[in-house]
Amino acid sequence: MPMRVLNIFAILLIFGVLGSAFAFQLQLSELPCPLCFLQRFGLLCAAFGLLLNLRFGFRASHYAVTLMSLVFTSWAALNHISMHIIPGTGWYGYPFYHLHLYTWAFIISQVAIIGTLFMLSFKSQYPSETNQFYYESFISKSIMHLLFFIFIVLIAANMASVLFECGLSSCPGDPSHYFTLHQIFK
């Protein structure tokens, strides 16, 4: 039970990060660049690994999915940081508590890697050879379905964002407007 709560908490944290990225996008009209989309994608995949834990029971392989995705996110974020680290190369987007969102993405993915390693180290959560039975209460099932629903809504929202920003062609490196909306309403 504590591991289930910990997994739900971690998923909600990732959803919170992605939700705040959307809030930045909509409130401050800060258009996400292709690398920003890659970082969002990595965080979504990380949440998927934890959701698999809630859906099919706790397995080390599910945590492996989360870890791989978080490593990918940190690579994408590090790539983004390295593009702007040299003085005079500028930055992308508004800072949040003195750090840009790609720097936050790197920090969050590193902290999440440590958190996932901590979570996967508890042996008691895995089914033993004698007891493979996986019990789920009605409440935990409902929470799992709700989280899956939010997850799918977040993916669909990101897809809509890509579609509005880039259309069906490749995304511009430094987007200035929603390409598709501009084409429709010009």
Partner 1 sequence: MILIMFGILLVAALLGWVGFKKTALCFLGATLICAAYILWLNLAGGHLQF
Alpha helices by DSSP H, the chain:
2-27, 34-56, 60-84, 101-120, 138-166, 179-185
Place of tokens 């965080």: 43
| Residue 8 vs 42, nearer CB to partner 1 | 42
| Residue 50 vs 98, nearer CB to partner 1 | 50
Q: Does 33 bind partner 1 (CB under 8 A)?
A: yes
Minimum CB–partner distance for residue 118 and partner 1 (Å): 23
Q: Does 22 bind partner 1 (CB under 8 A)?
A: no
Q: Does 171 bind partner 1 (CB under 8 A)?
A: yes
For partner 1, which residue of 18, 38, 70, 119 counts as binding (CB under 8 A)? 38
Q: Does 81 bind partner 1 (CB under 8 A)?
A: no
Within residues 145-164, the interface with partner 1 by CB under 8 A covers 145, 148, 151-152, 155-156, 158-159, 162-163
For partner 1, which residue of 6, 24, 34, 84 counts as binding (CB under 8 A)? 34
Sign of CA dihedral 91, 94, 99, 105: negative
Contacts of 180 (CB under 8 A, 6+ apart): 163, 164, 165, 166, 167
Question: In Å, what is the CA distance from 139 to each residue of 5, 53, 142, 143, 166?
Answer: 12, 16, 5, 6, 40
- DSSP classification of residue 31: P
Q: Tokens representing 98?
A: 């003195």
Give residues in contact with partner 1 (CB under 8 A): 33-35, 37-38, 41-42, 44-45, 48, 51-52, 55-56, 65, 68-69, 72, 75-76, 79, 145, 148, 151-152, 155-156, 158-159, 162-163, 166, 168, 170-174
